[in-house]
Structures are given as C-alpha cells and as structure tokens.
C-alpha cells in the first residue's frame, strides 16, 4: 500500500517520524539484537552520534513486526544476516536509557552470519564488527552493557 508519505525520500520520512515522536510524547518500541556468530562472537556497531559501540537495533516502523525489525536493523546497521532468533532476553523501559526519547526496547539473542557489508547509512553507523567475548568494550552506548551482560548469562527474560 502506497500513501502520500511513500513519495517522500526515506531520509525525510525518518526526520518526520522523529519529530512526530517528540510531539506525541509517547514511548517508542524498538529492538536491540545480541547477534552471535558461529564461534560465539558478539556483533556490535559503532554509532556516529556517540562514537561508542552498541548493540545493533532500532525502532519499529509502521506496519512492521518485531521479527522483521530484527532482520532489517541487523542488515541495515551491520550488513549481516539473522539466521535464527533464539529468544527474548529482556524488555527494557527505563526512561533515562536513551537520551533521545523514551523507548521500550525488546532485547533478543539471535544467530547472525556475515559477511559484514557495513552500514547502509554511514551518517548513523560508522562500522560493524564481531568481538570475541573476552574483548568486548567495557561500556556500550544507550545502556546496552547491562542488556548484553544479561543476554549472555542466558537466564530468564528480564523485565525493566
């Protein structure tokens, strides 16, 4: 289905979407992905806005499911392919987690495979790479450190 917004360039749609979120003052729903390759290495992306490493992810688009968001975000931000979503490791809603807006974030653990083709939008994401677990950055952007730690522990899903 094509509506009037489909005629806008993708970047303009994204800007309008961000403005609408702030005007409506409602939490947004998003996902982050703890992507693991066949050796158990963790997929991370380097954000352009903070310069820090983070879990790949983003917000749901209109008429999109959580599953399709997981696949799309990993492809767009890292150029990797999700081969299997293993489980939901947590749902996070603390208002101070993301300085841009209040987000409800579903964290999933997934199997991913390369090659890493890199980000679609280099203005948003600088690079993507797999990290061995013993070489993970000490701190992840957007409150991702605790999400990653909990996901790697393998316990029951956490609700924040």
Catalytic residues, by residue number, are 127
111: Cβ contacts below 8 Å, ≥ 6 apart = 35, 36, 37, 38, 82, 83, 84, 86
What does the block give as tokens for 125?
């994401």
Select from 87, 111, 104, 109 the least CA-distant residue to 143: 104
107: Cβ contacts below 8 Å, ≥ 6 apart = 31, 32, 33, 34, 55, 88, 89, 90, 91, 92, 147, 150, 151
């Amino acid at each position: 289905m094509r509506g009037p917004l489909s005629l806008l360039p993708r970047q303009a749609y994204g800007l309008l979407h961000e403005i609408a979120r702030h005007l409506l003052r409602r939490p947004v729903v998003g996902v982050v992905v703890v992507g693991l390759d066949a050796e158990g290495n963790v997929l991370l992306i380097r954000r352009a806005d903070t310069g820090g490493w983070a879990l790949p992810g983003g917000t749901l688009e209109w008429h999109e499911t959580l599953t399709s968001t997981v696949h799309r975000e990993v492809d767009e931000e890292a150029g990797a392919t999700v081969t299997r979503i293993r489980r939901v490791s947590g749902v996070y809603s603390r208002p101070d987690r993301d300085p841009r807006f209040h987000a409800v974030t579903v964290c999933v653990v997934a199997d991913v495979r390369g090659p890493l083709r890199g980000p679609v939008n280099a203005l948003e994401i600088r690079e993507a790479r797999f990290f061995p677990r013993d070489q993970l950055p000490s701190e992840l952007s957007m409150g991702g450190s605790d999400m990653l730690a909990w996901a790697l522990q393998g316990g029951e899903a956490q609700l924040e």
